[in-house]
Amino acid sequence: MEAPLPPRESGRFVVEHSQDVFVEEEGVRRVAEMLYALRKSEDLTASGWKKANPLAPSPTSDHALNWVFVVDTMNFSFWPEREDQQCEMSVEELGRVLRSDNNTPMPMLEERHRVLTEGGRVLLQHGGSFRSFISPAGRDAQKMVELIVDNLPSYRDEATYKGKRISLYKRAQILVADFWGIMEARVEGDMPNLDILTMFADYRVPQALVYLGALRYSDTLMETLRNGELLSSGDRREVEIRGCSIWCVEKIKAHLWSLVEDRDGQSCNINSAIIDFYLWPYAKQHHKEMAHIPIHHTRCIYY
């Protein structure tokens, strides 16, 4: 079978053929300007990894690497059927793993058990250590993503769109980005090929991009989402939302780099992963202001 397009090229391909989702150049420039104003803030670095992951073990410990592997392996489909029935977790109840603080059951519990079992079997082949598992990639981000996808089927976030095999690899890429965040916290040096990472195409960041005017949904798609229609994984509209989000962030990054070069006379090291790390909590912080923009709902193990 023909190998799928990598995520960045997949995003470009989807944008070129999209029927219901569109990248808005003016909005792209506005978001890039917003990020330019924050370019020297810790919000646009990977060094604040521990702050962004307060429940994680200390990044100086290899337990942190195993922790992100477990968390990122289960990191999919946490949205509730009803907005007034959120599945809530507190620090105090964390010991009762995956048990909600209310009566709302954890979605897709059987699937989470399956992917954890899959991941555990792979790690057992490497002494139970995620670092040992990932070490053949030599800390090269592209090789890491390939290693994860090749060995863990639940990370193969792929689809067929307009007759072309594409990849989105949300969880594989965020796992590599979390590894990078730990390495940054340890000040252990650079990771090659970080710029191959795209944004992590889920449901929250696309909502933020629409709110900020960098993405636009057709009236038909907007009505579909407001009606609460469940989109299946691989549905054309679902792929367009995620693929166009990837390319939208790539364009934001490119414009941001141009701003830094033109105005500051410097190169910019803010990559797409960092932009995603900023936009996801931005969406959470501004959820009331963007409540009129529906998120898409897809029950799957990929995000």
Residue 225 phi/psi, 5-degree rounding, is -70, -40
Tell me the three state secondary structure of residue 150: helix
Is 43 in the active site? Answer: no
Active-site position among 72, 202, 262, 264: 202
- Cα separation of 253 and 28, whole Å? 9
- Cα separation of 90 and 222, whole Å? 33
- Cα separation of 211 and 205, whole Å? 10
Q: Is 215 exposed, middle or buried (0-12, 13-18, 19+ CB in 10 A)?
A: buried
Long-range contacts of 253-259 (CB under 8 A, 24+ apart): 253/32, 255/28, 255/29, 255/32, 256/32, 256/35, 256/36, 256/39, 259/32, 259/33, 259/36
Annotated catalytic residues are 202
